[in-house]
Structure 1
Amino acid sequence: MNKFSIIFFERKFPSANMILVKDRFSILIDTGFGSDAKGTEQLIKEVGVLPEELHLIVNTHYHSDHVGGNCHFQKNYDVTIAAHKWEADLINSCDSEACSSEWLDQPVEPYRVDIKLSDNDEIITGNRTLKVLHTPGHTLGHISLYEPEEKILICGDLFQKNDIGWINIFREGVASVQRSMESLDRLSTLPMQKAYSGHGPLIENPIASLDAARQRFEKWLSTPEKISWHACKRIFAYALIIQNGLVKEEASNYLLKCGWFQDFARYSFQLQPEEFVKILLDEMVRSGAASWHNNRLIATTPYLAPQREWMNKNIKPKDWKSHDYIV
């Protein structure tokens, strides 16, 4: 008889963390960035689960660092994928807004969502049950998962040990901070022994991290510019990771073609995008989010650069219907 266990994979960028629930029906929660898909497969094999044995993939939300391996597992092993119903509808209709991929300039290979999840749904793993909790904020369809016997929370990008998920006011709404705080309030009522987030280490004191997250959101409500600065630095640092840095001459052209950069410059900071380029570049260096190396701006967080040939495919949801290997 299979014994229930949870295996936590703390991963380098560009991939988000993963959680493998080993049980009679093994479940993989999130699948990393697309360029890491074969590495994702190897990680689960090393702990004794073959990809074809996966009962289900569950996505906490549809950003590229969490769903990038979906295509690989679905196409090669026909693994069933589950996600919140709102995000599932965007994915399955190949909506150009799916994954915020176009706006963020983050490639995602095509996949479909087979099971549409709703709040309070239950996912049976064999010996245990994971409860689905709709926890919007970081995205509108963000979910967390709770296992009541061992009091384990899987919280995606809602909060981390020492940080919070960035807030996308342009795609998820200006009330996303309030939604995040309501989601935190809901989770704070659960008995929790430990929590696993989408980035950073295991959270051994979830209530302390949750309280710190709430305090930070409260500060953001009084100084909304902080929301935009946090988002811009997170998004641009991630762009530097998947681009493996940008030379000074490329950085300006790259930023000016990005939807997120245009929106934050014009509407959050009331600047022309051309004016905001130098301001953001300077802030990336000042804050330690990036640094210059031989005229190339590099993200300071540890990462594994995607293969250039993978990035050159540059697949976005608007391409999915016409692509050769849509699943």
Structure 2
Amino acid sequence: MAQPTPPSSSSQPPPTLPSWLTWWQRPFPDANTLFLPGRHPALVDTGFVGHAEETAAWVRARTGRLDLVVNTHWHSDHVGANALLQAHGAGIAAGAPEAEALARRDPGCCSAEYLDQPVAPYTVDLALADGQIVRLGDTDWAVVRTPGHTPGHLALWEPEERLLVVGDALSDYDVGWVNLALDGPDAAATALASLKRLADLAPRVILPSHGPLPADPAATLAAALRRAQRLVDDPDGAVWYGARRIFAFALMIRGGIPAGEVESYLHARAWLTDAAALLARTPEALAEELVATMLRSGAVVRRDGRLHAAAPHTPVAAGTMRTPYPRAWPAADELSGVVDRLTS
């Protein structure tokens, strides 16, 4: 989850994708989606729950059977159609740390409650380990563990065409935010180490979860390494970076928030309370400063009495926000009944 900015002004043409995959660049609040047809039809990431039906329809238009969904990580914009696709027979694969937490039904799954972002209940059928080879479509991809943005974040590497699916580790204009409160003070350094590992692969094509395909992968990786180093060098800046992105996403999925209610909304958020503690501020002071800063920068705009994220995004139906948090999810072995109701 990262706030978009204008893409690179590079004059290079976009890289050529092989004919055996389909890449769907999606606006926020959805992550980009990758489809791999063949003997083992597979999807990488499934967008936001408010657009699950749209994702499922897109998949149905391309295959009559989906074998596997691979999630780069468990944030809401990447796993939103998991439940619906699983209901229709797809297996779900995820990095081992997140798969284990989902199997236990930890209340913190998907950071859904922490970030106040809805995720429909699903289970993970295949836990992926670093270096594991997984067949997607008709090609073999290596799992590359890339913690930082989340502890279970992973990338996927296809060496023949030198294709690299990077999730939220980086994009053409950004790097993933890190959570120093939940994941510890070394989270930024961990993210930087993951980026160095990706850069060592020297990909021909980078497939990011947000924004366009980078025209110059080497330059994009070099810029990402510089950005990640700044997060390591400036922990307060890393906290602010995350807070701005989480708040912008909250505005996107809610169709904005009434201006008079924004600060009270923020005061109730665990992520803001944690950020305030790291910055030695009160939640009230941080909420006020966050809103004012983002209004001044133009990242947030006031329209019709509401504050809205300025970045392009697709509306979300209000009913989406009633999806229960993971602490109220059924146990994994009880999910079949929930899945039946989702498709009835």
Q: Which has the higher contact order (CA 8 A, sep 6+)?
A: 2
- 1:31-59: CA deviations, max 9, x gaps? 0011101111122233x223xx1111000
Q: Is the 8 A contact 1:137 1:183 kept in 2?
A: yes
TM-score by length of 1: 0.94
Report the Cα offset of residue 295 of structure 1: 2.2
In structure 2, how many angstroms separate the alpha carbons of the residues matched to 1:114 and 1:87? 12
Query: Which residue does 1:56 correspond to in 2?
Result: 68
Secondary structure, aligned partner of 1:36: helix
In structure 2, how many angstroms separate the alpha carbons of the residues matched to 1:40 and 1:10? 12
In structure 2, how many angstroms separate the alpha carbons of the residues matched to 1:275 and 1:189? 42
Match of 1:106 among 111, 117, 133: 117
TM-score by length of 2: 0.89
How does 1:1-327 map onto structure 2 within 5 Å?
5-46=20-61, 48-50=62-64, 53-75=65-87, 77-125=88-136, 127-267=138-278, 269-311=279-321, 313-321=322-330, 325-327=337-339
Indicate the larger mover: 80-89 or 280-289.
Answer: 280-289
In structure 2, how many angstroms separate the alpha carbons of the residues matched to 1:288 and 1:107? 26
Secondary structure, aligned partner of 1:19: strand
Q: Is the 8 A contact 1:4 1:127 kept in 2?
A: no
In structure 2, how many angstroms separate the alpha carbons of the residues matched to 1:180 and 1:205? 21
Secondary structure, aligned partner of 2:127: strand
Report the Cα offset of residue 317 of structure 1: 0.5
Q: Is the 8 A contact 2:202 2:218 kept in 1?
A: no
Secondary structure, aligned partner of 2:330: helix
CA RMSD of aligned residues (A): 1.6
Q: Is the 8 A contact 1:138 1:158 kept in 2?
A: yes
Query: Which residue does 2:12 correspond to in 1?
Result: none
**Identical-residue share of aligned pairs (%):** 36
In structure 1, how many angstroms separate the alpha carbons of the residues matched to 2:281 and 2:148? 26
Secondary structure, aligned partner of 1:73: helix
Report the Cα offset of residue 126 of structure 1: 5.4
**Aligned residues between the structures:** 319
Secondary structure, aligned partner of 2:157: strand
Aligned partner letter, 2:250: A
Would you identify which runs of 4 or more consecutive aligned residues in structure 1 move more than 6 Å? none
Q: Is the 8 A contact 1:100 1:171 kept in 2?
A: no
Secondary structure, aligned partner of 2:181: coil
In structure 2, how many angstroms separate the alpha carbons of the residues matched to 1:257 and 1:318? 18
Aligned partner letter, 1:281: V
Report the Cα offset of residue 189 of structure 1: 1.7
Report the Cα offset of residue 248 of structure 1: 1.5
Secondary structure, aligned partner of 1:204: coil
Aligned partner letter, 2:325: K
Unaligned 5+ residue runs, structure 1? none
Unaligned 5+ residue runs, structure 2? 1-17, 340-344
In structure 1, how many angstroms separate the alpha carbons of the residues matched to 2:300 and 2:133? 42
Aligned partner letter, 2:176: G
- 1:230-282: CA deviations, max 9, x gaps? 10110000000111101111111110111001111122x21111122211111
In structure 2, how many angstroms separate the alpha carbons of the residues matched to 1:105 and 1:191? 37
Report the Cα offset of residue 200 of structure 1: 0.6
Q: Is the 8 A contact 1:4 1:21 kept in 2?
A: no
Aligned partner letter, 1:306: V
